[in-house]
Amino acid sequence: MERQERKAGIYKNPDLPGTDPSDEDVENSRKQTGMTKQNEALEPERSREQWGKKKGKKLPSKIEGLLEDLPRIPYGGSFVHNGCNVILRNTCNIDNVIQILFTLYKINKATGIWLHRLAQERDSACYFLLRAFRHLDSSEWAAARKIILVNLLKVGGAELEDGDLYESEDRILQQLGDLFIVVKNITCKNPNCRLPKQIDICPMRDAPVSLPAMIEEAFYCQKTFKKCYLCSYQGLTEKQQWPAIGPPPFFCYYLNQVENVCKEEHLLVSQKILGVEFDLFAYTVLENNHYTTVFLFEGKRYIYNGLKNKTLIKYRPSGPNHSVSTVWLLKKQ
């Protein structure tokens, strides 16, 4: 991972969660990117977005053109927080996760509807995610990063001052795990047992797998155990199912590399989870201490690399020392 110079500024007091980026940040961000003032509505209006073909530029397909024109988060960067400049390092740990979610949001209508529904709960992770997306839409990287770190991840104090995001992938995935939870219904035959009847399963936290082929088993539909965890009564049943609002339009799981190292060749192009078919949409690759993302569109693969964010890179297989870190699935249409 690229190491940058230590921050020059001094951190003072953390903002309260939910605080907006200051006008100073937004202005800074605009200056960096040469953007002009944009519509400040909370949610980007999909209907207003222009994905028009650039003059003289031949686009092989609508989706590829859309993907090419999408803002891509650059590696590193800085933002002003309480008057001090926070200089960030190792941002690829979280940039790839945000870039995938942003891409899903921009190209998949069902994802947009799903995220807006979850964002209705003020101060939820999704609420801040959509606020960050508003800035990504205008390439306002500093303002977007500030919301993600300060509001969504609740990074503050010396940690924020340091600006090092090394090993943050797991942290952001845990925060965003509620975007696609699974419900586990538990029944113990002992009428006096106090075992909870229902718990939420977060794939990042509660279903660790090291290879994609294991995920269908991790999200089993029904399992009968001989013994209750709590009362030791013989006859406990567990049933995993999608929540009452239905299955999410996308799904993500993390590969923990404990038993196996997941390579690109282990990926499955489609997977069935709790009876719902999903297609492989993207995956993050860790190679030489740097994360990149491979996106799959219309049978082709493209690479997002924050170090070369100006272009969408044509796919080439990863090197021998790579590992696949997260897998992102999109519900079959």
Determine if 166 is a binding residue for Zn ion (CB under 5 A).
Answer: no
Determine if 190 is a binding residue for Zn ion (CB under 5 A).
Answer: yes
Burial state string for 256-271 with b = 16 or more CB within 10 A and e = fewer than 16: eeeeeebeeebbbeeb
Measured from the CB atom, is 39 or 232 closer to Zn ion? 232
Cα dihedral 44→71→126→36 (10° resolution): -50
Q: How far apart are CA 73 and CA 116, in angstroms?
A: 22
- Kindly report the CA angle at 183 between 206 and 232, in degrees rounded to 5? 70
Measured from the CB atom, is 135 or 184 closer to Zn ion? 184
Question: Which range, of 99-107, 145-153, 228-236, 268-276, touches Zn ion by CB under 5 A?
Answer: 228-236
Determine if 231 is a binding residue for Zn ion (CB under 5 A).
Answer: yes
> Which 8-state DSSP code applies to residue 89?
B
Q: Residues binding Zn ion: what is the number (CB under 5 A)?
A: 8
Determine if 51 is a binding residue for Zn ion (CB under 5 A).
Answer: no
Determine if 233 is a binding residue for Zn ion (CB under 5 A).
Answer: yes
Shortest Cβ distance from residue 43 to Zn ion (Å)? 45
- Kindly report the CA angle at 302 between 130 and 100, in degrees rounded to 5? 20
Measured from the CB atom, is 13 or 198 closer to Zn ion? 198
Q: List the interface residues with Zn ion, window 74-103 (CB under 5 A).
A: none
Measured from the CB atom, is 224 or 270 closer to Zn ion? 224
Measured from the CB atom, is 228 or 324 closer to Zn ion? 228
Question: Which range, of 35-43, 64-72, 176-184, 191-199, touches Zn ion by CB under 5 A?
Answer: 191-199
Measured from the CB atom, is 231 or 313 closer to Zn ion? 231
Burial state string for 228-239 with b = 16 or more CB within 10 A and e = fewer than 16: beeeebeebebb
Q: How far apart are CA 49 and CA 196, in angstroms?
A: 46
Name the 3-class secondary structure at 229. coil
Name the residues that contact Zn ion, by CB under 5 A. 188, 190, 193, 195, 228, 230-231, 233
